[in-house]
Copies of this chain bind each other. A is one copy, B any other.
């Protein structure tokens, strides 16, 4: 007992000494620590009770990488290849035919319609349990084309530390992502310490059915909710029912979430990750095909939100 208490004290001391070791001692880290100390100091006019300490994080480009394209789309492409033997018709049916030939330019030219067909063919038609197993297997085995790391090793170490720091200060941390809710849930608890009930994402409809006397939820090829742009405050309201006091994103898809967070009363923290590190990660912003950061950047500058430079503010990008 005494030993454990001693360890806990040492760990607590180390943490309070430097709760965010992968962050340089630049303005963003200072702003984060100052905000957390303000809202957690009892008796302060800025104090926020623990049950109202809601923090929301975008996932793609904010908690993990999103280049050369959203990882969930790479998952879908892997699934098309894995399922192709069961779908001989895909050899001549678009967008599958171009995809299987490796002609990604042709797939891209088919735009949203092609993408939705690929997503539905790979994300629907099975039970929720079956899909969970597919995602779990993929995340354990698939590797990123450039880094050769597993995808769940392409999470940002400074953000993992930030999530833990917030939780140590009584915050509840949520993901609010345009990505699929059921694509994230199988692996984010281990990666980020965020349990499935604290994940908000896009979804397709599910249907309750009895199969051989056993209840299942079947995933239907029908979009239920798109948790992006103006959908993010809607998703936050639906799942959390309370306005965040801290929100982090990296793209214009996060703008409305940041506006929604900023519009509450009292102390607020709005942050954006700026991908400006071509050496260690990628550099992209106003004209990017993924994670476009344009209007949200202008608004962040105009309103004094925190913009994190991956190059200048993070001494580490990925976990070692």
- Interface segment, one of A63-71, A96-104, A157-165, A255-263: A255-263
Residues in chain A within 8 A of chain B (CB atoms) = 51, 54, 128, 172, 174, 181-182, 185, 189, 195-199, 203, 206-208, 214-215, 217, 230-231, 233-234, 237-242, 256, 259-260, 263
In angstroms, how far is the closest chain B Cβ from the Cβ of A134?
16
Whether A240 touches B196, Cβ cut-off 8 Å, given contacts A51-B189, A189-B51, A215-B259, is yes
In whole angstroms, how far apart are the Cα atoms of A272 and B305 in the complex? 50
**Is the pair A196, B230 in contact by a Cβ cutoff of 8 Å?**
no
Across the interface, which residues of B come within 8 angstroms of A189, CB to CB? 51
Whether A234 touches B256, Cβ cut-off 8 Å, given contacts A241-B197, A242-B197, is no
**Is the pair B206, A237 in contact by a Cβ cutoff of 8 Å?**
yes
A197-B241, A206-B237, A208-B260 known, 19 other contacts, Cβ within 8 Å: A51-B189, A128-B237, A174-B197, A185-B241, A196-B240, A196-B242, A197-B198, A197-B239, A203-B238, A206-B234, A207-B230, A207-B234, A208-B230, A208-B233, A214-B263, A215-B256, A217-B233, A217-B234, A217-B237
Which residue of chain B has its CB nearest to the CB of A217? B237
Across the interface, which residues of B come within 8 angstroms of A51, CB to CB? 189, 195
In angstroms, how far is the closest chain B Cβ from the Cβ of A63?
17
Across the interface, which residues of B come within 8 angstroms of A234, CB to CB? 206-208, 217
Interface centre among A54, A208, A242, A260, by most chain B C-beta atoms within 10 angstroms, is A208
Interface centre among A182, A207, A233, A256, by most chain B C-beta atoms within 10 angstroms, is A233
Partner of A238, one of B54, B174, B181: B181
Across the interface, which residues of B come within 8 angstroms of A199, CB to CB? 241
Of all A-B residue pairs in the complex, the 8 with the closest CB atoms, nearest first, are A196-B241, A208-B230, A197-B240, A185-B241, A215-B259, A208-B233, A196-B242, A215-B260
Whether A241 touches B208, Cβ cut-off 8 Å, given contacts A215-B263, A256-B215, A263-B214, is no
In whole angstroms, how far apart are the Cα atoms of A237 and B224 in the complex? 13
Across the interface, which residues of B come within 8 angstroms of A263, CB to CB? 214-215
